[in-house]
């Protein structure tokens, strides 16, 4: 079966990632990382619920404080032995490895090797790094031609 045939009978068709939610311990450190290092902007705050929604291109990254109303409903805090997810990937453009590495280093962020990895647009360069609470973030470049 081809991919088109496999999805022809499915009523739900995913176009892109809308948002993801990270349960966080140190909201301010996470805000600094996602805004200052990765370039997100605050789209909306609901402080009484412990929620900050960040604009990440056309998607959102929601930061939910484990101490807030929403976070308390989600169980224990993220920790080294219990994650809420493996990693998430954001497509970056342009993918200028030297500039990306310089920017990350200037913010004290360590990153892994640049490797070819498969993503929504095909295989291309990517770099893994970790946010202040240990979540793995993949910075993905364009597919190889």
Question: In this predicted structure, what is the pLDDT of residue 121?
Answer: 87
**Highest mean pLDDT (candidates 15-19, 31-35, 83-87, 119-123):** 31-35
Quick: pLDDT tens for 66-125.
Answer: 888 877 777 777 666 666 676 889 998 889 999 999 999 999 999 999 999 988 888 999
Residue 100, both tokens:
């990306």
What is the model's pLDDT at position 9? Answer: 63
Question: What pTM did the predictor assign?
Answer: 0.73
Looking at per-residue confidence, does 7 or 20 come out higher?
A: 20
Residue 7 has pLDDT above 70, yes or no: no
Q: How many CA atoms lie within 13 A of 100 on its CB side?
A: 22
Strands 136-140, 87-91: pairing is parallel
Sheet holding 19-24, edge to edge: 19-24, 59-65, 51-56, 41-46
Q: How far apart are CA 45 and CA 80, in angstroms?
A: 27
Least confidently predicted of 5-14, 19-28, 43-52, 56-65: 5-14
Q: Which token pair is 92? A: 């970056």
> Could you give the CA distance from residue 104 to residue 100 in angstroms, rounded to a whole number?
6
Q: pLDDT at position 118, please?
A: 82
Dihedrals φ, ψ of 135, to 5°? -70, 135
Q: What is the pLDDT of residue 14?
A: 65
The span from the CA of 27 to the CA of 145, in Å, is 39
């Amino acid at each position: 079966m081809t991919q088109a045939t496999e999805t022809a009978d499915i009523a739900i068709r995913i176009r892109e990632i809308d948002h993801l939610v990270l349960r966080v311990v140190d909201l301010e450190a996470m805000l600094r990382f996602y805004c200052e290092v990765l370039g997100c902007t605050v789209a909306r705050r609901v402080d009484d619920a412990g929620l900050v929604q960040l604009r990440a291109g056309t998607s959102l990254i929601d930061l939910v404080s484990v101490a807030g109303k929403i976070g308390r409903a989600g169980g224990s805090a993220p920790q080294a032995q219990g994650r809420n997810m493996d990693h998430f990937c954001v497509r970056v453009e342009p993918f200028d490895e030297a500039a990306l590495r310089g920017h990350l280093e200037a913010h004290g962020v360590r990153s892994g090797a640049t490797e070819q990895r498969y993503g929504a647009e095909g295989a291309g360069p990517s770099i893994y790094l970790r946010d202040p609470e240990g979540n793995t973030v993949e910075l993905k470049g364009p597919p190889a031609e």
